[in-house]
Structure 1
Amino acid sequence: MNLVNKVIVITGGTSGIGRQLVSLLCDDNTIIVVARPSERLTKLEKAHQNIHVVSADLSESTLYKGLAQKIQQMFPVIDVLINNAAIQNTPTFTETHFNYDTIEREINVNLNAICSLSYLLLPNLMSAIENAIILNINSGLSLVPKKSSAIYCACKAAMNAFSQSLNYQLEHTNVKVLQAFLPLVDTPMTSGRESTKLTSKQAAIEIIKGLEKQSTINDIGKVKLLRILIALTPSLAKKLLKRS
C-alpha cells in the first residue's frame, strides 16, 4: 500500500507508538487520532493541518457507537484503521493491591474496542477506492503469556484469533486485516521496567513497513526469535516469558 493521500484512523495516538505513527504518517495523509481528552490531544490537532482528533475513553464501551458516528461524519471513506490503544495492569490476582474494577476497563481498551471499531467502521473501509486495511497492534505476549498482566496477555491472544477470523470473513472484500507483533517497547506503559527495549520510533517505523507490504503477520524485533523458540522448544519459551 502506498501510504500517500490516505485517511488513517489511529487509536491511542497521543503518546508512545501511536504518537510516533502520527508523526511519521501525517505529512502525506489525513490522520484521525482517537484518544482520551487531554491537553496533549488538543495540542496535537493544532500541530498539523492534516491531523483531526476525536476524544473518547475507550475503556467506556458505551461510547463506541458515538465515536464511530463522529468519525463517519468527518470522513465517509477510511483507508486504514490502526487499533493501537492499549493499557496493561501488572498486579497479579493474588496481590492485595489488585483492583477488581480494572478488569473490565482493560478488556474494553485491549479487545472490545478493537472488535467494535472494526465492525462499526467497516462500511467506511469497504467504501475505499482501493484496498483498505485494519491493522491491529499486537504483542509477543499473545503467543506466550507472562505471569503478570494476565488480562493483557489474554486480550492480546484473543486479538490474534479475532484478527485471523475477521480476515477470513473479509477474504472476498477490499479490506485486509493485518497484525504487528511487538516486543517490549519503550513507552509510558512500560516505564520503570529494566530491560532492553525497542524505541517507540523504531517500532513505528517497522509497523509502517509491514503496513506498506500488507504483511498479515509482521513480527518485529525479538518476536522473530520468539516464534523460532516456540517452534523448537515451546517449554523453554514458556519458562523465559513467564517472568519477563
Structure 2
Amino acid sequence: MELQGKRVLITGASRGIGESLARAFAGAGARVALVARGGDSLQSLAAELGGTAYPADLADAAQVAGLIQRIEDDGGPIDVLINNAGIGSTSSFIDAPDDELRRVTELNYLTPVELCRQVIPGMLRRGGGHIVNMSSIAGIMALPGLATYSASKAALSHFTAGLRADVRGWPIGTTLVELGPIPTDLLAESDNYEPTAKSFKRVYRLGLTVDTPRERVARQVVKAVRKGRRHVRLPRRSIPLAMLVEAPRRGAELSLTGVPHQPRR
C-alpha cells in the first residue's frame, strides 16, 4: 500500500510504541488519527504531526461503540487501522485487583476486535484497507505473573489468524505484530512482581530475547503495511518460537486452499 495521503488510525498513540508509530507513519506521508486517554500529550503530538486527536478510554465499551464512524465523519475514511493500545497485568493472578481481568481483556482483546468489526465494511466499500494488530511474544511464552496479559495477547494473535481467513479474497490486508521486550513503561511493570522479574532475567540470560527499540518496531510496521506482509516478529530470535505456534494455523490455511470463499455483498 502506498502510504502517501492515506489516513492511519493508531490507538494508544500518546506515548511509547504508539507515539513512535505515529511519527513513523506521518514521516511516510500518511495522515494520522490518534486515539488515547491522555488528552494534552495526545493533542500536542497530533498538532506536531499535522494529524487529529480523539481522546477516549478504549477499556470503556460505551466509548468504543461507534468510534470508527465518529472519526471518519470528522476527518475522512480510515485506510489503515493499527490496534496498538494495551495495558499490562503483572501480579499473582489470584491477588490481582477485582476488575483487572475484565479491563485487560477489554482493552487488549475485545476493543481491537470491535474496531476491526467497525472498520472493515468501509474498507470494503472503498475497495481496500489494512489492519495491524499489535500482539506479543507473551502470547506464546507463559511467564509467572503474566497469566491475564498473556492470555489476552494469545487471543488477539489467534483472532488475527481467523480474521485473515475471513477476509481471504477481499482487498484487505492484515499484519500481526508479535513483540518481545520493548523498553517502555509497560515493560518496567515487570519489576513489580518478583517471579516475573526473575523470569525475565532468566530469559535474557539464556539469550532467548533482547530488548528492541520502539523506533525499530515502528519502521518495521510501516514496511509491513507498505509491502502487505502478514507478520512482524521482533526480536528476530523469537521467530522460531512464533513459527511453531503459527504452524497449525498455517497448516489449516493450506488445507483449505481452493475452498470457495463467499464474498461480502
> Which residue matches 1:203?
217
Match of 1:32, as an amino acid?
A
Residues 230 and 8 (structure 1 numbering): CA distance in 2 closer, same or farther, change over 3 Å? closer
> Which residue matches 1:107?
105
Q: What is the CA-CA distance between 1:230 and the residue it aligns to?
A: 7.1
Residues 94 and 77 (structure 1 numbering): CA distance in 2 closer, same or farther, change over 3 Å? closer
> Which residue matches 1:219?
233
Partner secondary structure for residue 180 of structure 1: strand
Q: What is the CA-CA distance between 1:228 and the residue it aligns to?
A: 6.6
Question: Pick from 184, 187, 199: which aligns with 2:184?
Answer: 187
1:221-236, aligned counterparts within 5 Å? 221=235, 222-227=237-242
> Which residue matches 2:36?
35
Match of 1:209, as an amino acid?
K
> Which residue matches 2:92?
92
Question: How many residue pairs align between the two structures?
Answer: 227
> Which residue matches 1:162?
159
The more displaced of 100-109 and 62-71 is 62-71
Partners of 1:121 and 1:79 lie apart in 2 by 9
Q: What is the CA-CA distance between 1:15 and the residue it aligns to?
A: 0.7
Contact 2:16 2:214 in 1 (8 A): yes
Residues 48 and 230 (structure 1 numbering): CA distance in 2 closer, same or farther, change over 3 Å? closer
1:169-184, aligned counterparts within 5 Å? 169-184=166-181
> Which residue matches 1:128?
126
Contact 2:82 2:131 in 1 (8 A): yes
Partner secondary structure for residue 126 of structure 1: helix
> Which residue matches 1:241?
none
Q: What is the CA-CA distance between 1:47 and the residue it aligns to?
A: 1.3
Partners of 1:55 and 1:170 lie apart in 2 by 30
Q: What is the CA-CA distance between 1:94 and the residue it aligns to?
A: 3.6
Contact 1:76 1:124 in 2 (8 A): no
Q: What is the CA-CA distance between 1:75 and the residue it aligns to?
A: 4.1
Partners of 2:58 and 2:154 lie apart in 1 by 19
| Cα root mean square deviation, aligned | 2.0
1:40-59, aligned counterparts within 5 Å? 40-49=41-50, 51-59=51-59
Partner secondary structure for residue 34 of structure 1: strand
Unaligned runs of 5+ in 2: 192-200, 205-209, 247-265
Partners of 1:54 and 1:150 lie apart in 2 by 31
Match of 2:88, as an amino acid?
Q
Partner secondary structure for residue 13 of structure 2: coil
1:7-26, aligned counterparts within 5 Å? 7-26=7-26
Partner secondary structure for residue 198 of structure 1: coil
Match of 1:224, as an amino acid?
I
Partner secondary structure for residue 121 of structure 1: helix
> Which residue matches 2:83?
83
Partners of 1:47 and 1:212 lie apart in 2 by 23
- Residues 51-97 of structure 1 show CA distances to partners (whole Å, capped at 9, x for unaligned) of 111111011112112422311212442211000111011011244xx
Partners of 2:158 and 2:165 lie apart in 1 by 11
Match of 1:124, as an amino acid?
G
Question: Pick from 104, 116, 119: which aligns with 2:117?
Answer: 119
Name the TM-score, length of structure 1 as normaliser.
Answer: 0.85
